[in-house]
Amino acid sequence: MHRILRFVAFLVLSAIPASLPAQQPGDPMQTALAQGDLYSSKRKYELALDAYHKADKAAHHGSAVCYLKLASVERKLGDFSAALDDTKKAVKVAGDDKPVALQAHLQRAALLVQMSGKPSDKKLREAEEELRQALALDAAKPLSHFNLGVVLLKQERDAEGLAELNACVAMPGVDSALEGDARRMIAAPIRARAPFAPDFSFTTHQNQDLSNASLRGKVVLLDFWGTWCPPCRESVPILRNLNKKICREVLSTRGREFGR
């Protein structure tokens, strides 16, 4: 079945650390990473991927940061298997660099959750283990507690999940946005297991104001996509055909009602 985007409780990622060994001007790895970052910022992900591969080659496959940047782009391109493999390599080569190793565990956990299905899916157990390793590196990081809480809720282990989320909001200096997400999850743990669209509002090309509040009570299909996403572009004809089919059915139903 072709992909239709669903909203699920998400894991949050912190920024990929940029902690690299001191580089000399013109260093090929540094140059390739900078080029990859530029392409990525412009959503030219295929070009970014090529640049990061060059950086990885220049680093003789020994840079965890290179692997993390590769995984980040591969995830955006929908190549989860490659991204999972690169996060595993990042964990291996990170060594004693705790910030980078922690980010590798967080990124790997997010991928496993995104690839998971039902609450008993073994990928959720694997994600839980990655997050526990992240906490072993830094138990005072609110983000790790939040993500572990979400994963536990997804496994229907609500008591344990809520304990982690409460630990997150109780930590000093917790980010306000992360705290808000945690509190909403604490109030309604089902958010971790059921599709919830985030709050949104926008003005259409026809100058119509739309928001999730204005659509409440109606059947609505939301498809969030980007021009840089190949699977998203492939879904456009399918959604157009679905729209035509629904419109025909609505008009046919109204015609029958009018003829009564």
Spatial separation of the C-alpha atoms in residues 50 and 77, rounded to whole Å: 13
- Which pLDDT tens digit goes with each residue over 195-234? 776 777 888 888 888 888 888 777 777 777 778 888 888 8
* Lookup result for tokens 């530029």: 38
* Lookup result for tokens 């840079």: 63
Q: Is 186 exposed, middle or buried (0-12, 13-18, 19+ CB in 10 A)?
A: middle
Predicted TM-score (pTM) of the model is: 0.74
Spatial separation of the C-alpha atoms in residues 213 and 227, rounded to whole Å: 27
**Confidence tier at 2 by pLDDT (50, 70, 90):** very low
Share of the chain above pLDDT 90, in %: 61
> Could you tell me which CATH number the domain at 28-192 has?
1.25.40.10
Q: For position 109, what pLDDT does the model report? A: 96
Q: Which one has a higher pLDDT value, 204 or 67?
A: 67
Q: For position 36, what pLDDT does the model report? A: 97
* Lookup result for tokens 């999940």: 161
Q: Among 15-24, 183-192, 233-242, name the one with the lowest average pLDDT.
A: 15-24
Q: What is the CA radius of gyration of the chain?
A: 22
Query: Mean pLDDT for the chain?
Result: 87
Q: Where are the domains of the chain?
A: 28-192, 201-258
Share of the chain above pLDDT 70, in %: 86
Q: Look at residue 1 and tell me whether its pLDDT is greater than 50.
A: no
Whether 101 and 130 have beta carbons less than 8 Å apart is answered as no
Q: For position 12, what pLDDT does the model report? A: 63
Q: For position 254, what pLDDT does the model report? A: 63
CB neighbour list of residue 204: distance below 8 Å, 6 or more residues apart: 210
Whether 165 and 174 have beta carbons less than 8 Å apart is answered as no
- Which pLDDT tens digit goes with each residue over 111-164? 999 999 899 999 999 999 999 999 999 999 999 999 999 999 999 999 999 999
Whether 199 and 212 have beta carbons less than 8 Å apart is answered as yes
Q: Which two tokens stand for residue 106?
A: 């967080």
CB neighbour list of residue 225: distance below 8 Å, 6 or more residues apart: 5, 232, 233, 235, 236
Mean pLDDT of 173-187: 93
Spatial separation of the C-alpha atoms in residues 62 and 67, rounded to whole Å: 9
